Amino acid sequence: MLPVDLVHSRRQKDRLVVTPLGERLDRAREIATELVQIAEAHVGRTREELETAWRALDVPAREIRLRDGLIALIEDALDLDGRADVDAVALRAEVFSRATARRRSEATFDRDAILAELAQEKGTTVEAIEADLYADLRGAQVLRAAVDRTGAPIALVPGGAAAIVEGYDLSQAQSVLLRATRVVVTLSETPALALRSLLRKLKFHRLLFAAERAAERTVLTIDGPSALFESTTRYGLALAIALPSVLACVPERIEADLRWGKERLPLRYVIEPPSPLLAERRAIESGLPDEVEAVIEKLRAKSERFEISVADVLLDIPGVGLTVPDLTLREKKTKRVVHVEVLGHWSRDAVWKRVELAEKGLPEPVLFCASERLRVSEAVLPETTGASLYMYKGALSASVILERAERLLAQAAAPKKKRARSV
């Protein structure tokens, strides 16, 4: 991902305008091709040597930021790591220990003599000892040839220069979102399956969002990392990673409220037509949060009463909002269902939003699960509302989920007219 200071942007009143590659596309390909070729020529050499060669690529002043941005994206794709055959910390400690002892006994010491003595003991050269002393530093990391799981060689940069340039505009947008306090996505005529996949993707990354339906539009409001007080780096990366899934639904508009620059200026960033980011659909990845993956098989093993499956419904209360369950527990005899949504540990606001939904009348019973770290009492959501709140400590308990599901069905009244909308 691009460092924020390499994003091509400018202020325009209260908006941040990000400049896409556009007319610079061909030039970006030329520069990226040269940078990849330089990397390929430096396999087995240090990061410092590679970076020096990259910076030596002469470009006009107006293209320095573009060159450096391409370097950052290529560098992300490379396998650069320290030397595993050298314990530089232990070697430095040994050299410093000998130097200290020599100074105490002789008042002065000869550094070269100490290194020569150590080299002789280890059967190597003074030059090798010098190189090994700081082999753990970033600049001493070595560029490794790229191989697959079987050890067969593959391209050093997957997709080559073309893939780097193709992802440049997306990387700019992702970097900007690292400074977001809120992101509002307006979707129009999005197929229900694509919408559910998108919402599940947001849940998979533990992104805090509220979703509302109005006519044929869905409005998603996603908290940005700058709105949180902890774990902002990890949360910001999750939001950036989820952006392709948002773009896959070809939204009408994405608007982000930012705190930009060192001054944390309040600016707006908007993605809307004719942005190249909205030019084509991208593949939507879907998945379940780790907590859900961990408990689903336990539920299936423990329960004889319920069939356990990944939920395929959106529970929508017009004018209030919608929620996306993770699992559905279907009673084998009666076919009655209880849905389960895992909220995790990010935000108390997410819990209170679900409480509001339950008070307004969910179409089917739902068990909401959230971490005890949020310090919300289960009593805020009585089971008489047709929903229940399970505040778990550490990991989800399959036994507790099954017990709560049975209690919710026992509390259930006659079937309601309003039903969940299957997708």
Amino acid at 148: D
422 DSSP β-pair partners = 313
Instruction: Look at residue 107 in the predicted model and tell me its pLDDT.
Output: 67
What pLDDT is attached to residue 237? 85
Position 414 scores a pLDDT of 44
Contact 366, 324 (CB under 8 A): no
Number of neighbours of residue 268 by Cβ within 10 angstroms: 14
Angle between helices 88-106 and 126-133 (to 10 degrees): 110
- Dihedral angle computed from the Cα positions of residues 406, 410, 414 and 416, in that order, rounded to the nearest 10 degrees: -40
pTM of the model: 0.66
127 Cβ contact partners less than 8 Å away, ≥ 6 residues apart: none
DSSP symbols for 192-259: HHHHHHHHHHHHHTT--EEEEEETTEEEEEEE-GGG-SS-HHHHHHHHHHHHHHHHHT--SEEEEEEE
Q: Cα angle vertex 187, ends 182, 191, to 5°? A: 135
What lies within 8 Å, CB to CB, of 298 at 6+ separation is 398
CATH topology of domain 290-422: Trna Endonuclease; Chain: A, domain 1 (3.40.1350)
Domain ranges of the chain: 4-82+141-166, 88-135, 178-278, 290-422
CATH of domain 178-278: 3.30.70
The DSSP code for 284 is: P
Distances in Å between the Cα of 341 and the Cα atoms of 325, 362, 422 are: 4, 13, 16
What the block records as the tokens of 400 is 């507790």
What's the 3-state SS for 342-410?
EEECCCHHHHHHHHHHHHHCCCCCEEEEEEHHHCCCHHHCCHHHCEEEEEECCCCCHHHHHHHHHHHHH
**C-alpha neighbours within 13 Å on the C-beta side of residue 269:** 27
Q: Which residues of the chain have pLDDT under 70?
A: 82-85, 107, 190-193, 215, 227-232, 279-288, 318-320, 345-346, 413-423
Give residues with Cβ within 8 angstroms of 394, minimum separation 6. Answer: none
From residue 154, how far is each of 43, 73, 158, 261, 319 by CA, in Å?
13, 18, 8, 39, 52
Question: Residue 353 in contact with residue 313, Cβ under 8 Å?
Answer: no
Question: For residues 90 and 210, what is the distance between their CA atoms, to the nearest angstrom?
Answer: 52
- In degrees and rounded to multiples of 5, residue 422 shows phi and psi of -75, 150
Tokens 């989820």 map to which residue?
Answer: 242
Amino acid at 247: L
**212 pairs with which residues across the strands?**
219
**Within this chain, domains 178-278 and 290-422 share the same CATH topology:** no
Are 383 and 366 a contacting pair, CB within 8 Å? no
